[in-house]
Structure 1
Amino acid sequence: MNAVLPAGTIATRLAALAESPEDRWSITFLDSHGAVFERCGAAELAARAARVAGFLERESAPGAPVLLVFQPCVDFLVAFLACQWSGRLAVPINPPRRHRLIQRLQAVATDSGAAIALTGGGVAEQSALWQADSPELAAIRWQDVGDIDSDPAQATPLRAVDPTATCFIQYTSGSTALPKGVEVSHANLMADMARMEEAWGLSPASTMVTWLPAFHDLGLIFGLLQTLYSGCPVVQMAPNSFLQRPLLWLEAISRFRGTHTAAPSFAYDLCARRIPPEARAGLDLASLVMAMNAAEPIDPQVMEDFITAFGPHGFRRETFAPAYGLAESTLAVTASPVGVAPRLFPLDAAALEAGRIAEAGAASRRHLIPGSGAPLPDVAVAIVDPETGRRQPPDRVGEIWLGGPTIAGGYWRRPEESAATFGVRVADEDEPTGYLRTGDLGALIDGELCVTGRIKDLIILSGANHYPQDIERVAQGAHPALRAGGGAAFGLVGEAGGEQVVLVQELERTQRRTDPAPLFGAISAAVWQTLELQLSRIVLVEPGAVLRTSSGKIQRAANRQAWREGALPVIAEWRSARQEALDAAREPQPAAPARALAMEAPALEHWLRDWLAGRLALPASAVPVDRGVGELGLTSLDAVDLAGALGTHLGRALPQTLAFDHPTIAAMVAHLTGVPPASPAQASPSIPAPPPGAGGDLEELLSLIEGGARGHD
């Protein structure tokens, strides 16, 4: 794996662009209505970065980690590049929404050892509240870049750095309180961007359009830094702007003649389902050269639906570019070439379940696997038996191991975990640099990497990563009848309606005859309110029934299999209302919500019931006012839509946390009208408010990779 690495760093690329008379790079940031909010060229960006770098030179040592805590804005890019300009380690992290996720910010601050946090986009005002709640955050110096990037006298020259030195630390993006930081070097970053430029035809004539969160590797590297590397302009909007109105993304592509963009599968699904035909009329997507489909399992039907919806508006099948990657490999591992339609492989489902690759016959059960492209140049892919460490035959599924110049140096200050994941040797082979273990299962089929599953237990829903242990912990804390440490949460991939989450939970021995209904309500409400996650099924089982290893570790895959086979001693089982509808094979029939009188409680209750019935494909009679909306089947994306639709209906802005903070129709009506519920006795069981820092975040929903586990497939 002797690769030629590009010279310089991303900071030297910026400096060169700033001095070039032919430079056409710029960043244009759009507001929530699609209007231009800010535009910045390379010369201005370099000048601002140099001034902030001067502050870092005075206040920190070379190589020191610096937290970057920003709402979406150009200032984030200024701060990131200031770290590169001065030889500091950027540590991007999304800010907590109100008090949500403050524990994660604390964990990253503590693990990284950062003594300085740069902020912008309105975060400075919020940081005072975080510091008041957290001694760890209070010990950090918080600095708004808007106060230090305008004085030319503060600028510092570009610092020379060792290309092998760490450039930034990419922290894992799941909901765990113990995130891991991936050490990405300058050489790693430049090597990956060089390969992406070649694979996807980026040049100064290109235009990137992105809404992906900049604290995440796909949004940061491909959405922003790649444009500096390739010298092409970028149009950026906030993730929330896309979620509230997906049309804005496609309108920006049309308006700015975007050539390159990227999103996870759920985003293409949102566009196909939520943008009505009449709203598509003015779109022209013919300028797109590639639209990366990455960061969560690729759904062939979603691609087909998007092509059907937007093909008449210039989107070509060959524009889709499925890809696979992960933070431990900087970003990209494979790429589908420009101008070639995505490849789909019809495989024998029974063989695949047994770990074999076989083409589906006429009479066999078929499973359609999308390809994720071919490995990038100098990227070695080995398919390995995860138990023996030996390379698998071509017709067998195995763990995906990776090698090459884009593999990161390890996990920040975690030598044991680094040794278990990085530099691992294939048994009976002599590879001096070793491989990265991804935790993903797959196979190479005709030169194309196909990802078939995951070894690790990570659950991905709508692009968001969820650790099963977090789900289990929250559920077990919801009611004293539930045995602590006696649960197994797992995802079901490929099910109708998308990936589902099932919780198998033991009861305490003295509670086996307890009425299960209050337990189901408490569990579903707690998980929804704390993690913003909808459970599809809850399975209560006998004490000791959850399968464990000899050392006592929960075997989630084995519990999933046992549940599927009916081998668990089930006491009671619950399904969400949406799951009941899916199981009954009902086709979703969204209903147009009736126009209600704005602030009258009965009319508002009627509007909410109708809206939820339409979204969840349920009869209105199945939407009680006292039942949690998460329990009914509302997803995080649906909750964002609900806040937007209701705000439009009422003619006022509503927080996107409305359905999480007031999780029943009755609670929402009472909050919005000031009228208490007519029948307090019917209120849902009281669930303690989540502690500060508990739960997900809207932008956490868009965290597209889980470092250490899952990549862009």
Structure 2
Amino acid sequence: MKKNLIQATTTLVELLRLRAENQPDKIAYTFLKDGETIDTSLTYAQLDHRARAIAAALRSIASPGERALLLYPSGLDFIAAFLGCLYAGVIAVPTYPPRRNRPDPRFEIIANDARASVVLTTEEILSELDSRRTRISELRNLYSLATDGLDLDAASKWRMPDIDGDTLAFLQYTSGSTGSPKGVMVSHENLLYNEEMVKWGFGHTEETIFVGWLPLFHDMGLVGNVLQPLYLGIPCTLMSPVSFLQKPIRWLQAISRYKATTSGGPNFAYDLCAEKVTPEQIAALDLSSWEVAYNGAEPVRAETLEKFTETFAPCGFRREAFYPTYGMAETALFVTGGPKTMPPLVYEVEKAALERHRVVASSKEGNTQRILGCGRTWLAQKVIIADPETLLPCSEQQVGEIWVSGKNVACGYWNRPEETEQTFQAHLADTGEGPFLRTGDLGFLKDGELFVTGRRKDLIIIYGQNYYPQDIERTVERSHEALMIGSGVAFSVNREGEERLVVVQEVQRTFLRGLNAEAVFETIRQAIFERHELTVHAIFLLKPRKLPKTSSGKVQRHACRERFLAGELDSVANWERPQGQGISHPTVSFPSPLEVTEGLIRDWLIAKIAQLADIPQQQIETNRLFTHYGLDSTSAIGLSGELSGWLGQTLPATIAYENPSIDSLTQHLIELQTSNSTKERDSSNKMKGNDTNPAPKTSFFTPDFSLIHN
């Protein structure tokens, strides 16, 4: 296809129509059901046909400009529905199905803030939602449309909507504070311009091959793994985040099998692969095709690059393939990166100077810090560093706030005019140049290379997911009656190269005498895990008025963090996650499922949790909640995958959430095994009686992906 045709398109609808006309039979997307076997594929013609059918049905219940919630598991149904919204002129709102039997404030926020009029989903999820509508107020008055059961002949009724580059394509909800959700308004022009930036920055061509596992409602998954392949007209193979987290090898196997040239994820994904993939598995991989291993969404660590390269060099991975990148939803996705022909740039600076927002190159070994460059800007986008207080430009020797301007910068926040003006309408104080997007991130430029040093605000970033401390603090103070309202802080600290969560909370004076600190710790840990899917590194309980505050009564998170690091917190009780002891753990045996007993399951879990926590098995208490041993959402999903492999059964990714201790999980597995054995006996009896419709062999569960969104 001629390049000028693509560059002349002003909307994604025009783009897909061109692809369907010029490359009708070319495979656009393939989805791997379990991360290994092909489930479905769509050509460009099939994708266009489905998008037109969905749009025609959607226009019968929604007008252009209205919002549609997209509630899908990972898969091609989501992609067709997203494009169907664009074909109808309806603003898509990507999110995930509300959690089962658990509070889901993020979903409630998105549904309320977007003021959606319709829900698009699958027949299976719609059936589940229908039974819960009375309990989910946000869904009661919305039209619902199951797109996987539509009559595709409706595509003939589709008409091109009246849209252009300025038309909003979708709302990308950021990980904002519970009190003030923010939907980034992304237009067709924002997307197309950013896709051209990604194409140049990543060095993509018509020969590029994508493999991805990121959640499709996330900007990196949607704009990067879905829309960039569409922009290029090239194939993309996808799997769900659950498939990757349960068995990280699946990601690398897909890259190896499909000869992918571009694939990536947050920094933790590379750490997880280096930790979990075995030498035997590495021997069967071929990663020599991998040209762009992008790394973003959370701080990129030089140590991760070195460890991953060392681990996977034997199967063809090259350090030059690493592509640290910087971006955000407010810029559609991509801000800086590359060029791909250059290896990652590491700059070593004096740590003391950096803490004073000065950039001083290290001249000797000592108290230094290694910072990884995140590339440069592309096309006409402009990146500058400005003093966040004076709004004056900074020199290369100063750390300041990263400001961005360009056609990829979004229109603002949905129904948030004041926040839009504060964030998207910044101007330099000396020249008046602008408008710029104020990112809230701190960094510096050196010879055009962007180095990100931290956040101006108190944002916590763990596993590529953003968390506002106010949300966690609210969860903590409401978790137990002994805790004071408005007198707690949450922050993160770096331990062993990873960000860890710390909570400091005041106790009401009337509860100090006879305080059951262990019960309070347990309650806090479990509340944070259930609400935010995070584990806590440390909890400190203080007497009233011991928490650092300003004269006006505002909590001082930074001052509290400094006291924690200095060991100067005056607590009435404290707990810290059991520290890894660097011990050698015996290999967990894998008897066949026929030999599994309650004792074997318990022993297997004890050995596995001890391995994850890096402590002796003798220190594991089977009635303790997994959160006590630092089992976070990523570890919980990985545990479900290893259990599935050991037992030879399909287990849900949520099984460790729903059975949060060794005792409860063991009991649950035994009950399921007994139930399955009974069903299999009944099926066998029917077979002996020549039953023409024998019951299929059952598994423990069908995985539920609704909880997985990191």
Q: CA deviation at 1:464?
A: 2.6
Residue 507 of structure 1 is matched in structure 2 by 507
TM-score, structure 2 normalization: 0.90
The one-letter amino acid of 1:413's match is N
Select the structure with the greater relative contact order (CA < 8 A; seq sep ≥ 6): 1
Q: CA deviation at 1:537?
A: 0.6
Q: CA deviation at 1:333?
A: 0.4
| Greater mean alpha carbon deviation, residues 656-665 or residues 344-353 | 656-665
Residue 261 of structure 1 is matched in structure 2 by 263
The one-letter amino acid of 1:273's match is E
Q: CA deviation at 1:151?
A: 1.6
Residue 559 of structure 2 is matched in structure 1 by 558
Query: Relative to structure 1, is the Cα distance of residues 391 and 551 closer, same or farther in structure 2, using a 3 angstrom cutoff?
Result: farther
Q: Name structure 1 gaps, 5 residues minimum.
A: 676-696, 704-713
| Match for residue 61 of structure 2 among 47, 56, 59 | 59
Residue 313 of structure 1 is matched in structure 2 by 315
Where do residues 444-523 of structure 1 align in structure 2 (5 Å cutoff)? Answer: 444-493=445-494, 495-496=495-496, 498-513=498-513, 514-523=515-524
Residue 162 of structure 1 is matched in structure 2 by 164
Q: CA deviation at 1:468?
A: 1.7
**Distance (whole Å) between structure 2 residues aligned to residue 444 and residue 591 of structure 1:** 48
What's the Cα RMSD here? 2.2
Residue 400 of structure 1 is matched in structure 2 by 402
Residue 112 of structure 1 is matched in structure 2 by 114
Report if the CA contact (8 A) 2:178-2:471 is conserved. yes
Residue 147 of structure 1 is matched in structure 2 by 149
Percent sequence identity is: 38
Q: CA deviation at 1:418?
A: 1.0
| Greater mean alpha carbon deviation, residues 389-398 or residues 407-416 | 389-398
Report if the CA contact (8 A) 1:52-1:148 is conserved. yes
3-state SS, counterpart of residue 444 of structure 1: strand
Residue 191 of structure 2 is matched in structure 1 by 189
**Distance (whole Å) between structure 2 residues aligned to residue 175 and residue 637 of structure 1:** 22
| Match for residue 651 of structure 1 among 648, 651, 654 | 648
Q: CA deviation at 1:376?
A: 1.9
The one-letter amino acid of 1:129's match is S
Query: Relative to structure 1, is the Cα distance of residues 47 and 101 closer, same or farther in structure 2, using a 3 angstrom cutoff?
Result: farther
Where do residues 318-397 of structure 1 align in structure 2 (5 Å cutoff)? Answer: 318-397=320-399
Report if the CA contact (8 A) 1:17-1:23 is conserved. no
Query: Relative to structure 1, is the Cα distance of residues 373 and 32 closer, same or farther in structure 2, using a 3 angstrom cutoff?
Result: same
Q: CA deviation at 1:101?
A: 5.6
| Match for residue 588 of structure 2 among 567, 589, 593 | 593
Residue 89 of structure 1 is matched in structure 2 by 91
3-state SS, counterpart of residue 470 of structure 1: helix
Residue 245 of structure 1 is matched in structure 2 by 247
**Distance (whole Å) between structure 1 residues aligned to residue 303 and residue 366 of structure 2:** 20
3-state SS, counterpart of residue 262 of structure 1: strand
Report if the CA contact (8 A) 1:106-1:137 is conserved. no
- Are 2:640 and 1:611 aligned? no
| Match for residue 627 of structure 1 among 624, 627, 632 | 624
**Distance (whole Å) between structure 2 residues aligned to residue 274 and residue 174 of structure 1:** 32
**Distance (whole Å) between structure 1 residues aligned to residue 522 and residue 605 of structure 2:** 20
**Distance (whole Å) between structure 1 residues aligned to residue 280 and residue 123 of structure 2:** 34
Residue deviations 1:174-227, cap 9 Å, x none? 683642100011111111001111121222221111111111111001101111
Residue 708 of structure 1 is matched in structure 2 by none
Query: Relative to structure 1, is the Cα distance of residues 70 and 198 closer, same or farther in structure 2, using a 3 angstrom cutoff?
Result: same
**Distance (whole Å) between structure 2 residues aligned to residue 149 and residue 551 of structure 1:** 62
Query: Relative to structure 1, is the Cα distance of residues 351 and 121 closer, same or farther in structure 2, using a 3 angstrom cutoff?
Result: farther
Query: Relative to structure 1, is the Cα distance of residues 458 and 99 closer, same or farther in structure 2, using a 3 angstrom cutoff?
Result: farther
Residue 71 of structure 1 is matched in structure 2 by 73
Report if the CA contact (8 A) 2:246-2:639 is conserved. no
Q: CA deviation at 1:117?
A: 1.1
- Are 2:207 and 1:210 aligned? no
Query: Relative to structure 1, is the Cα distance of residues 477 and 153 closer, same or farther in structure 2, using a 3 angstrom cutoff?
Result: closer
**Distance (whole Å) between structure 1 residues aligned to residue 544 and residue 308 of structure 2:** 47
Residue 680 of structure 1 is matched in structure 2 by none
Residue 301 of structure 1 is matched in structure 2 by 303
- Are 2:203 and 1:201 aligned? yes
Q: Name structure 2 gaps, 5 residues minimum.
A: 1-5, 673-703
**Distance (whole Å) between structure 2 residues aligned to residue 426 and residue 512 of structure 1:** 52
3-state SS, counterpart of residue 564 of structure 1: helix
**Distance (whole Å) between structure 1 residues aligned to residue 65 and residue 130 of structure 2:** 27
**Distance (whole Å) between structure 1 residues aligned to residue 182 and residue 586 of structure 2:** 44
3-state SS, counterpart of residue 653 of structure 1: coil
Residue 668 of structure 1 is matched in structure 2 by 665
Report if the CA contact (8 A) 1:72-1:121 is conserved. no
Query: Relative to structure 1, is the Cα distance of residues 101 and 329 closer, same or farther in structure 2, using a 3 angstrom cutoff?
Result: farther
**Distance (whole Å) between structure 2 residues aligned to residue 588 and residue 428 of structure 1:** 59
**Distance (whole Å) between structure 1 residues aligned to residue 231 and residue 288 of structure 2:** 24
TM-score, structure 1 normalization: 0.90
Report if the CA contact (8 A) 1:175-1:465 is conserved. no
Runs of 4+ displaced beyond 4 Å: 595-599, 697-702
**Distance (whole Å) between structure 2 residues aligned to residue 229 and residue 674 of structure 1:** 50
**Distance (whole Å) between structure 1 residues aligned to residue 355 and residue 426 of structure 2:** 27
**Distance (whole Å) between structure 1 residues aligned to residue 368 and residue 123 of structure 2:** 49
| Greater mean alpha carbon deviation, residues 644-653 or residues 64-73 | 644-653
Q: CA deviation at 1:453?
A: 0.8
Q: CA deviation at 1:636?
A: 1.6
**Distance (whole Å) between structure 2 residues aligned to residue 548 and residue 611 of structure 1:** 42
3-state SS, counterpart of residue 124 of structure 1: helix
Residue 546 of structure 2 is matched in structure 1 by 545
Number of aligned residue pairs: 671
| Greater mean alpha carbon deviation, residues 261-270 or residues 567-576 | 567-576
